């Protein structure tokens, strides 16, 4: 029964699982979570035949069993609050302060990294150090994950 784990994960999210600390979510929230998890995890590419990872990072490795992978990934979340669904607290819908803080820190870290890259790039290529300097291309498929 290859889909048992995935069915159980979806049921835990829809119905809640108090012993696992999972509060219930709406059908739309679970569908959004499934799509977000699959596409931000580069599921289509990583599960495709002949896929070759860019790096040795776990988030870059091939997905050999999409059902098992999605079942495990669905129940993970970046926010430590189990009642947080994508930055919104269940069931009232108030914004999650932990997520806001994490996003603010993430943005600041990204800006610092972008600034450092521009300084390095400008130092290596002084002819481009001007007001028309373009942002550097980001590297690898992970660079775009987590945005949107």
Q: Which residues contact Zn ion (rule: CB under 5 A)?
A: 79, 81, 84, 96, 98-99
**Least Å from the CB of residue 94 to Zn ion:** 10
**Least Å from the CB of residue 22 to Zn ion:** 14
Q: What is the distance between the alpha carbons of residues 3 and 30, in angstroms, rounded to a whole number?
A: 16
Between 104 and 128, whose beta carbon lies closer to Zn ion? 104
- What is the b/e burial string over 51-90, where b = at least 16 CB atoms within 10 angstroms of the residue's CB? eeeeeeeeebeebeebebbbbebbbeeeeeeeebbeeebb
User: Is the distance from CB of 128 to CB of 113 less than 8 angstroms?
Assistant: no
Between 86 and 138, whose beta carbon lies closer to Zn ion? 86
**Least Å from the CB of residue 126 to Zn ion:** 44
Long-range contacts of 143-147 (CB under 8 A, 24+ apart): 145/40, 145/41, 145/42, 145/59, 146/40, 146/106
Between 70 and 96, whose beta carbon lies closer to Zn ion? 96
Between 73 and 99, whose beta carbon lies closer to Zn ion? 99
């Amino acid at each position: 029964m290859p889909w048992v784990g995935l069915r159980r994960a979806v049921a835990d999210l829809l119905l809640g699982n108090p012993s696992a600390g999972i509060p219930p979510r709406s059908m739309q929230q679970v569908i959004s979570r499934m799509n977000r998890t699959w596409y931000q995890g580069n599921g289509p590419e990583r599960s495709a035949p002949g896929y070759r990872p860019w790096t040795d990072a776990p988030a870059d490795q091939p997905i050999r069993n999409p059902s098992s992978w999605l079942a495990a990934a669905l129940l993970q979340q970046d926010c430590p609050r189990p009642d947080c669904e994508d930055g919104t607290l269940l069931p009232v819908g108030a914004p999650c302060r932990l997520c806001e803080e994490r996003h603010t820190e993430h943005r600041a870290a990204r800006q610092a990294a972008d600034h450092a890259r521009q300084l390095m790039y400008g130092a290596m290529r002084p002819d481009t150090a001007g007001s028309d300097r373009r942002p550097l291309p980001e590297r690898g498929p992970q660079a775009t994950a987590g945005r949107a």
